Structure 1
Amino acid sequence: MAGILWIRRACRSPTLQHPRLYTTAKRPLPPNSPIFRVSEEVRQALIEHRPVIALESTIYTHGFPHPANLALATRLEALVRANGGVPATIGILDGVATVGLTPPELSRLITTAHATPSALLKCSRRDLAFATALTSPTGARFNGGTTVSATMILAHMAGIRVFATGGLGGVHRDVATTLDISADLTELGRTPIAVISSGCKAFLDIAKTLEYLETQGVAVATFADGRDVSAAESASIDFPAFWSRDSGVKSPMLLRDESEAARVIHAHGLLGLQSGLHFANPIPERYSIPRAEMEAAVKQALEQAALAGATGARSTPFVLARVGELTGGASGRVNRVLVEGNVVRGTRVAVELGRIEGEGDRPDRLESRLVGPAASHFTSTGVSLGASASQTPAPATHQATAPAPPPTSPADQSPTIFVAGSLNVDLSCDYTPRPNAPAHTPEPHTSNPATIAQTLGGVAHNVARAAHLLGAPVRLCSAVGADPAGHAALAALAASGMSVAGVTTLATGRTSQYVAVNDTHKALVLAMADVTLLEQPTPALTSAFETSWLPDLRAANPSHVVLDANWPPAALARWLAAAHEADAPPHITFEPVSNAKSTSLFHLPPHIHTLATFPHPTVHLATPNSSELAALAAAARATGAFDRADWWAVLDALGIPSTGARAALASITSPALVDAGVPQQSLQLLPFIPAILTKLGARGVLLTQLLPAGDPRLTSPCDAPYILCRCRNGTEAGLGVGGVYMRLFPAVEKVPAADVVSVNGVGDTFAGAIVAGLAKRGSGARVEELVDVAQRAAVMTLRSAESVCPRLGALRGLL
């Protein structure tokens, strides 16, 4: 992958403040306090006003058995993403109430439930303070699954509006003697969040439950789910009884679809009502167990519970188990169907809510859409521009970055940037040695302990994602296989707000995968990439070119095209040829990817496209690291590119003295870089690539750029220190060569090793930021004015677990 950037100047956001009071000590609860944390992904989604769906965790910790619970957790989050939402699974992990458990965190919570169930709490409202303040007898912090009521509280604190779950608690049938009323109901009476479930389980007193919810001021309605809602028909629609569509109790109100539900939530918020809403989603008719059958099983189970003395907290699990047995397992089989349907319905409601509120967006209303007690912590003015989430915010005297506008839907704008290349599933393996291990690098030829994370990646994806987050309309052109990894990649891409229109699913071949092995400092030790899906010519790939990618490219006529070197030479040549066929050819950026693949630029099949030189080059900009730059220069020399007459004509026009330019190069860059041949290699490649940004790690970024004749920088006093040479042989009018602009940009901050989370995607983020800036600024854009902000974007990714930091939108104002 592309090179690592190290940064020197600190850039932090102002201290976050909030006017509302949550705690009795009259202090706001920050989003990353010692007992409350909101994940980076969820925070960014709230900032960008994307639909976020709360999911509870007791369904995994105390509901489904292992390993079905782990599979269900993965399935539900995938359903949220596939339907355009961001999942926020909520639970207690190491004493911290966490909104948006990451896959490794959720896996650890579920594994704890399986391995040592006694060490795991089932947390309702009453338990939250104990779970986050105390420790177990062994001194360990508590882990816990959150029930409906606890999930509602924590979701509301984070500013989440919609929560999807399986079933709602209620009033028990023996309430007159037990006073057993679920905390879910009282929570709905005082926490303004919309809960979508399949109603109450049939062993509860549903009529009394609805009566209690009415007393609490809870808005209750049932989705018609395809049934006629005319006056005559709607009178017969029941509030559902979990396993059955009918309960014998009429629903207070009906909803035709998700749009109606979203309008109710929106109006509820505008009125400032502080109670919750419950929307019942009936089980699909083909899975519904007949009411009479369920009622018979429930009555028998309740009688057996009474005989067994299963009361209080033991009652519900006993009755559920007996109902399962009495229905021949049917009740258990539909549990998963229920919760999956509710999650899909809830996500669509949240998407509709975002659309409704987005239609009325004005600058003075953007913050009003985050309504939880900690909501202002997630407004865009509070995003750190380089500090990791765990760091203390900088003093409020620092200048805040301008708020990032919500990203535009891909359907709203024609793409101005096409990015073509790899879309991978990335695995990052960080070496985590045991204490007192002698080395910080994994040992070869054996197994090593590691922390492994999976994200969406690929050079083209990362470049496109960075440009998208920075506000540039982007079309990613790539391919995935018809395998689980491909389906997951498409779902994740859609969930990120990017268009999937340019991603083709190929019936043959595997979805590209990339595995990075890093040392304890997160520095890359070894990487393995399988992108044969793009490298092997197949009829399906040829069809994608002819029927999808190239027609889309011609129709959109983008201003910029980015090509990564994962394409083999023939495919790369086709992209280049198609781009240059346009009436107004786009600015083309080449991302070399790796030493081996960078050379494809000098192996293009001449019958498709021959690499042209200045003043009409085939490629306008490249973003190699120093080793990729050396590989490019070596490939040019080996293929005879440096023997071409058109190459020599441009180089001769630069006016470099026959004695060489070592002194001038060392003065502009450094003696060490000259000794390594970096500026010399850049100069040699300029006729073919007139702008080269070489990423140099801790030494920053070297820009080498061929200026056309008449460029104002050639005569500007401010730019004089960076003009290496000017045309001296009188060919300005013919070739149009003006001179060479060379400038070494120091890294803007040196990031401590402890702050580095992942190096994957850092260089790709840099390239994406450069191209986004060029596209947004138009024909007058200057590369040198974008290098610093691109470095800032890169360091944000360096401190992020994802291949591209999801908080890049905070930098839009700097482009």
Structure 2
Amino acid sequence: MNAQEIMKFFSILHFEKSSWRYYNTSKRKHKDFEISPEVAEALKTRKPIVALESTIISHGMPYPQNFETALAVENIIREHGSIPATIAILNGKINVGLTPGNLERLAKMGPQAIKTSRRDLAFVLSQGMTGATTVASTMLIAHMAGIKVFVTGGIGGVHRDGENTMDVSADLTELGRTPVAVVCAGVKSILDIEKTLEYLETQGVAVVTFGETKDFPGFFTSKSGFKSPSNLSSTLDCAKLIRNNKHDLNSGILIAVPVPENEAAESQRIQSAIEESLKGAIDKGIRGKEVTPYLLKKVNEMTQGGSLKSNISLIKNNAKIGSQIAERLSYLENKSTEKSQKPVSFLKPDPNGVKSKERIESSPVLIVGGAVVDITSTLRPPEYPLKHSYDTKDFLETSFPGDVNKSIGGVGRNIAETVFRLGLNPLFASVIGNDEFGKWFIAQLEMIGMDSSNLRIVKNQPTAVYNAINKPDGSLLCAVADMKIFDHMSFDEHELVKNITPKLVCFDGNISEDCIRSVLNFCSSKKIPAFFEPTSVPKSVKIFKDKKLFSNLLTTQTLRYISPNRLELESMFNIAKINGFFDSIDWFNKLDEFNIGLKYRQDLERLCRKHEKLQELNDLGIFSIATQLLPYIPIIIIKLDKDGVLLVQNLEDIGGLSNEEHTTSKADRVEIIVRRKGKGGIRYKYFKPFPLMSEHIVNVTGAGDSFIGTLISGLALYDETKIDKIVDKAQQIACMTLQSHNAVSENINADLLKF
């Protein structure tokens, strides 16, 4: 290797932060670096990335298991929210992010690829070779690229009898000088784990075990017999640790993830095989670098392939945990640079309707509703040579290729996230199961930064799941909704009832009728206005099944707001009529005060002529239906989907409004007001839809919930005199969610609700 080649190598490996940042943003491709488009885009947009080594592919297992495992691990990382970046040296170039073709090429090469640690990088690069990176070299390159989380199977360490042979893995010294978090199953069990932990302490490496146990894992076993310096029980805590491992420390972090419990029995058998193989190596005089290949081969033979199976299982588990940690770290780092993402306390409106900075911890918005895991499967179109269209029956009674996504949802939860992103600090009360979905739900909620302390765990019940199958165009083919856990949701026993007096309470139709009754009784006793989101046609009728409860609402007006669509409104009216809600003399007297006569009908006809959709609604009796519900519910906000919003409002005081029809200069709203016989009246106001091109819509899930979350936030921050502006903002924010793949758009922020 001549002097020019040495200088070339050092120019490649110079990894000062400023130097890499210049390289990464200059849009010039260094001829010795190949960064995949997917990874480059993730770096540019600050998405979470997980680095992966390549020695595990070439030297860790045979083909085709190595290739299949490599693809599976990358898919797991993507499924849990991060971008995989497998690192290798291909023909003398550092590659960050490999194509499937290059992964298979490396897998087929096997040990023919040079096992490349830090010391080998210069040689492999300068000679144009293909090398598989170890933990040490992968850490180094990941740090150069700005990747902070790295997943592997297990790290190297101090070899047994290392005090005499001085055989210590370069992985340990790299951990001591490169600030990358390594997520693994611990130290490979053929090594001296106790001495390895001591060496890591000497190097100043932060070592934590993931989970509740304080035992350091033993790679194939969940416990090594040695205590971990510390443990963290959530991926969010791990992300906080990485974020606080300031770059000035220049040392790495080791996050040891115990092997899954379902592998424990097999792991014990593997550990016994390791001990027996070690004795065999000593008897045969096998030493140095020959020990590891001998032991791996012998153990795999003795366990009849069991060690390979367990190895693959723990790598996949590490990938899942590592991806979740990277996702949470990305959120924390992006959140710190975006004021709009910072959670703030509830803001109190002053008399002029302007938000003050005073914190009102005792008056939050309370949301009681569904916490659901959404699993969405979208089918891919059939590929028939002579067929250019498809029919629903093409997908029936067979499996079909498609894309599957998992996310947290539920009407109540989506509303709560919208309120949170708009700058308020909502309390969200719901129930989840004591299962993996429930644990994942909490982790995802905490990743956003929301409080999960008011989620109650119901034993022996599964977390609610909405499993939808969509056609290739995104429309629903069918869905299965497992929501039975909400039948076990109680509000009377919730600590929130004793400790808070919210300013506004919202509940959705997912909760049980008993729970709805408890919520309304709570609101009535504390004189708190309630907001009901019907959720669906079958669930919308729950509030009209208790006649005694609703007879009280005629006087208390506790249920102040509802937000049905047209079909939900019709169903609510029909069940109320069947159950005799309109037979009460008290209801009739309240309705009679509205002064509905010839003038009302004439004004209504004039309003409906302004818009074809309104004429259709009038012909369907929607105006009449809403009016008859007003004695019970003073404000009805009817969602008309792509056709806008209709507000029907029982006014206590008309104020300066005249009896004339009003039209804004932009002609986006029309309204009529019918005066009561005494004071006040009824107001009907139509809001045209917020403009949005259909081709910009990518997801219809959650848009309505974003609409409701904005209404609740606006009503809590201001008052009902601002309701027109609040509805306008709600439509705008709902459209933002329509253009997002998430249930609630990440672009929603507190500035959007400033008037």
* Residue number among 692, 707, 713 corresponding to 2:651 in the alignment: 707
Match of 1:555 in 2: 499
Match of 2:353 in 1: none
Confirm or deny: 8 A CA contact 2:562 2:635 kept in the other structure.
yes
CA, structure 1 residues 290+663, in 2 after alignment: closer, same or farther (shift >3 Å)? closer
Match of 1:390 in 2: none
Alpha-carbon distance in 2 for matches of 1:146, 1:463: 46
SS at match of 2:340: coil
Alpha-carbon distance in 2 for matches of 1:185, 1:68: 28
Match of 1:27 in 2: 27
Alpha-carbon distance in 2 for matches of 1:40, 1:789: 31
Is the aligned partner of 1:697 residue 2:641?
yes
* CA deviation string 1:575-623 (max 9, x = no partner): 21121111xx2221111111122122222241x453624x742322222
> How big is the shift at 1:557?
1.1
Is the aligned partner of 1:404 residue 2:341?
yes
> How big is the shift at 1:166?
4.7
Alpha-carbon distance in 1 for matches of 2:281, 2:392: 59
Alpha-carbon distance in 2 for matches of 1:61, 1:783: 60
| Highest RCO, 1 vs 2 (Cα 8 Å, sep ≥ 6) | 1
Alpha-carbon distance in 1 for matches of 2:635, 2:188: 66
Match of 2:564 in 1: 624
> How big is the shift at 1:625?
1.9
* Residue number among 414, 423, 428 corresponding to 1:476 in the alignment: 428
Q: Which runs of 5+ in 1 are unaligned?
A: 1-17, 47-52, 74-88, 110-120, 226-237, 355-365, 382-401
> How big is the shift at 1:718?
8.2
Alpha-carbon distance in 1 for matches of 2:710, 2:552: 26
CA, structure 1 residues 66+687, in 2 after alignment: closer, same or farther (shift >3 Å)? farther
Is the aligned partner of 1:662 residue 2:593?
no
Match of 2:78 in 1: 101
> How big is the shift at 1:493?
4.1
> How big is the shift at 1:802?
3.9
CA, structure 1 residues 560+151, in 2 after alignment: closer, same or farther (shift >3 Å)? farther
Letter in 2 for 1:471: G
Letter in 2 for 1:745: K
Match of 2:397 in 1: 446
The 5 A counterparts of 1:422-501 are: 422-435=370-383, 436=387, 438-439=389-390, 441=392, 446-447=397-398, 449=400, 450-501=402-453
CA, structure 1 residues 677+331, in 2 after alignment: closer, same or farther (shift >3 Å)? same
CA, structure 1 residues 279+713, in 2 after alignment: closer, same or farther (shift >3 Å)? farther
Alpha-carbon distance in 2 for matches of 1:624, 1:785: 19
* Residue number among 269, 279, 292 corresponding to 2:246 in the alignment: 269
The 5 A counterparts of 1:99-178 are: 101-103=78-80, 123-124=87-88, 130=95, 132=97, 136=101, 148=135, 152=139, 161=148, 166-169=153-156
Alpha-carbon distance in 2 for matches of 1:335, 1:448: 30
> How big is the shift at 1:101?
1.3
Compare 482-491 and 454-463 and name the one that shifted more.
Answer: 482-491
Match of 2:484 in 1: 532
SS at match of 1:430: strand
Q: Which runs of 5+ in 2 are unaligned?
A: 1-17, 30-34, 111-131, 211-215, 347-359
Confirm or deny: 8 A CA contact 1:650 1:687 kept in the other structure.
yes
* CA deviation string 1:775-794 (max 9, x = no partner): 3x144673322334433443
SS at match of 2:627: helix
Letter in 2 for 1:785: K
CA, structure 1 residues 431+135, in 2 after alignment: closer, same or farther (shift >3 Å)? closer
CA, structure 1 residues 446+743, in 2 after alignment: closer, same or farther (shift >3 Å)? same
Confirm or deny: 8 A CA contact 1:123 1:147 kept in the other structure.
no
Is the aligned partner of 1:36 residue 2:43?
no
Alpha-carbon distance in 2 for matches of 1:348, 1:92: 13
Confirm or deny: 8 A CA contact 1:196 1:342 kept in the other structure.
yes
The 5 A counterparts of 1:402-801 are: 403-406=340-343, 416-435=364-383, 436=387, 438-439=389-390, 441=392, 446-447=397-398, 449=400, 450-535=402-487, 541=489, 544-548=490-494, 551-582=495-526, 585-606=527-548, 608-610=549-551, 612-613=553-554, 616-658=556-598, 659-660=601-602, 661-667=604-610, 670-711=614-655, 724-732=671-679, 737-752=680-695, 755-756=697-698, 758-775=699-716, 777-779=717-719, 782-801=722-741
Alpha-carbon distance in 2 for matches of 1:810, 1:33: 33
> How big is the shift at 1:742?
0.5
Alpha-carbon distance in 2 for matches of 1:262, 1:446: 44
> How big is the shift at 1:434?
0.8
Confirm or deny: 8 A CA contact 1:418 1:553 kept in the other structure.
no
* CA deviation string 1:548-597 (max 9, x = no partner): 2xx52242111121121233444322321121111xx2221111111122
SS at match of 2:553: coil
What is the aligned length?
A: 667
* CA deviation string 1:361-389 (max 9, x = no partner): xxxxx99x84xxxx8xx8755xxxxxxxx
Confirm or deny: 8 A CA contact 1:125 1:150 kept in the other structure.
no
Confirm or deny: 8 A CA contact 2:370 2:411 kept in the other structure.
yes
SS at match of 1:803: coil
Alpha-carbon distance in 2 for matches of 1:269, 1:442: 57
CA, structure 1 residues 648+437, in 2 after alignment: closer, same or farther (shift >3 Å)? farther
Is the aligned partner of 1:322 residue 2:298?
yes
CA, structure 1 residues 474+723, in 2 after alignment: closer, same or farther (shift >3 Å)? same
SS at match of 2:205: strand
Confirm or deny: 8 A CA contact 1:604 1:611 kept in the other structure.
no
CA, structure 1 residues 562+321, in 2 after alignment: closer, same or farther (shift >3 Å)? farther
> How big is the shift at 1:516?
2.6
Match of 2:349 in 1: none
> How big is the shift at 1:330?
11
CA, structure 1 residues 595+24, in 2 after alignment: closer, same or farther (shift >3 Å)? closer
Alpha-carbon distance in 1 for matches of 2:639, 2:106: 44
Confirm or deny: 8 A CA contact 2:659 2:673 kept in the other structure.
no
Confirm or deny: 8 A CA contact 2:80 2:320 kept in the other structure.
no
Structure ID, larger Rg: 2
Alpha-carbon distance in 2 for matches of 1:799, 1:639: 41
Letter in 2 for 1:766: F
CA, structure 1 residues 507+187, in 2 after alignment: closer, same or farther (shift >3 Å)? closer
SS at match of 2:711: helix
* CA deviation string 1:45-88 (max 9, x = no partner): x8xxxxxx957587997869999999x99xxxxxxxxxxxxxxx
CA, structure 1 residues 41+790, in 2 after alignment: closer, same or farther (shift >3 Å)? farther
SS at match of 1:452: strand
> How big is the shift at 1:764?
2.0
CA, structure 1 residues 500+281, in 2 after alignment: closer, same or farther (shift >3 Å)? closer
Question: What is the CA RMSD across the aligned residues, in angstroms?
Answer: 6.1
> How big is the shift at 1:150?
7.7
Alpha-carbon distance in 2 for matches of 1:135, 1:439: 30
> How big is the shift at 1:642?
3.9
Percent identical residues: 27
SS at match of 1:476: strand
SS at match of 2:472: coil
SS at match of 1:574: helix
Letter in 2 for 1:804: V
TM-score by length of 1: 0.63
Letter in 1 for 2:704: G
SS at match of 1:101: helix
